[in-house]
Amino acid sequence: MSLKDGNAYKESLKTLNHNVFAFGEKIENVVDHPLFSPHIKAAALTYDLAHDPSTEDLVTAISHLTGKKINRFTHIHQSTEDLVKKVKMLRMIAGKTGSCFQRCVGFDALNATYSVTYEMDEELGTDYHQRFRNYLEYIQDNDLMVAGAMTDPKGDRGLSPGNQKDPDMYVHIVEKNDKGIVIRGAKVHQTGIVNSHEMLVMPTIALGEGDKAYAVACALPTDAPGVVHIFGRQTNDERRLEGGEIDQGNAKYGTVGGEALTVLENVFVPWERVFMCEEYQFAGLLVERFASYHRQNYGGCKAGVSDVIIGATTAMAEYNGVAKASHVRDKIVEMVHLTETLYCGSIACSCEGAPTPSGAYFVNPLLANTVKQNVTRFIYEISRLSHDVSGGCIATLPSEKDLRHPEIGKYVEKYFKGVDSAPAEDRIRMARLVENMTGGTALVESMHGAGSPQAQRVMILRQANLGRKVKLAEKLAGIKPPKS
């Protein structure tokens, strides 16, 4: 099958029988519903760009399984060049959408599962890797969008999965038979899952022997029997239902990634789609590998989003008549500095990547976690500076209906005008874009997407090799190692 374009992707979603709820109602047509449409358009762009001669080198790759040209979002990294191209691709697409395009989680889940199943088979004599290769070839051949499903509700975080009062707080195996397994539980914060074809379930934390029922990795269609998606609220999401455009800020592509709570109510998974079943020893490795791949992304996609924020902030400074003020220019320089620092980190962790035993390439985990740690701070500062330069109107603008009103519209247009060269509507549109991109849901995602800041600090300490650093210092200080 050839590479899908955006229209083919949208049409393929219409063939699915998703069980989706939002605002207390079941949604029968996800593709055309205004609540989901911006997210679907952003994902569709990842398909269209694979056909654009100016971007196809970044958005496509050659499958190491089949030798066919595939969308890079279904590719297994074969070199540090692949890792670098991934980051460049994410920045490029984010610059075009100004929002999340939702395919990164599944991309990282495919890569993490590929290498970990290989190492499981090497140690345990299982056949998970070949199963996964067959599944991956299916994904590549049909150009499917995969949602990576890692995060569990977790319940009481002070208790292990097996000690929870409600065992469903972590996805777990409730039955095994000759045909497959049955799983139960839920996955939360699921980016783009209502407009994905498949979901790849993974454990969310390292596990002990007492938690082996929770050591499960498997793939299932997002419309499989027993799967229920409950769409999450986002800041200002009701504006999509009002029929206007300006108040949405980014009406075409929305904000963040259309997250959902996905309930798995006794879902059957055939054995050929099971890639971990009680092998608890490898749950931690799968989590760490996925997390590092996913944290690699943020200096790419967040740099692309920040490019748009910087552009919008610069435009607001021009509309406000303060673009030449030295303190404004200095603040924009700082926004650029922070953005490029994030990008440097993602490129560095990619260039410092290395092959795993499977042959697939893995990022430098210390640098990848450092990237995401910086995102939890820098995006907030970039947004703060944008608010500073743009002005208070980004939070107090009248609605588009007021702007269009036959009686009061003239007042909105008159009193929200800045410099003569810019129409008031342009200033209003740009202010709404700043509001959309720098507040609410977007900032929370920067903090907690790909794991909490503390999760990155744990990984940074684990990867820091403090013993080596102590030895470097002792040598320079003239301290001899103790005699054995």
38 residue type, one letter: P
Whether 456 is covered by a domain: the verdict is yes
Whether 238 is covered by a domain: the verdict is no
What gap in Å lies between CA 93 and CA 54, rounded to an integer?
A: 12
Length of the chain: 484
Taking only the tens of pLDDT, the chain with its 484 residues reads: 679 999 999 999 999 999 999 999 999 999 999 999 999 999 999 999 999 999 999 999 999 999 999 999 999 999 999 999 999 999 999 999 999 999 999 999 999 999 999 999 999 999 999 999 999 999 999 999 999 999 999 999 999 999 999 999 999 999 999 999 999 999 999 999 999 999 999 999 999 999 999 999 999 999 999 999 999 998 889 999 998 999 999 999 998 889 999 999 999 999 999 999 999 999 999 999 999 999 999 999 999 999 999 999 999 999 999 999 999 999 999 999 999 999 999 999 999 999 999 999 999 999 999 999 999 999 999 999 999 999 999 999 999 999 999 999 999 999 999 999 999 999 999 999 999 999 888 888 888 888 888 889 999 999 999 999 999 999 999 999 888 7
pLDDT at 1: 64
Q: Would you list which residues are annotated within the binding site for FAD?
A: 191
Whether 131 is covered by a domain: the verdict is no
Question: For the chain, how many structural domains are there in total?
Answer: 1
The range of the structural domain enclosing residue 306 comes to 286-470
Identify the CATH number of the domain in which residue 366 sits. Answer: 1.20.140.10
Whether 55 is covered by a domain: the verdict is no
The catalytic residues are 100, 104, 191, 259, 294, 298, 301, 445
Q: Would you list which residues are annotated within the binding site?
A: 191
- Asked if residues 136 and 169 have their Cβ atoms less than 8 Å apart, the reply is no
What gap in Å lies between CA 459 and CA 451, rounded to an integer?
A: 11
Whether 156 is covered by a domain: the verdict is no
Whether 72 is covered by a domain: the verdict is no
For residue 158, give both structure tokens: 């002070």
Whether 172 is covered by a domain: the verdict is no
What gap in Å lies between CA 208 and CA 260, rounded to an integer?
A: 28
Whether 53 is covered by a domain: the verdict is no
- Asked if residues 145 and 71 have their Cβ atoms less than 8 Å apart, the reply is no
pLDDT at 255: 84
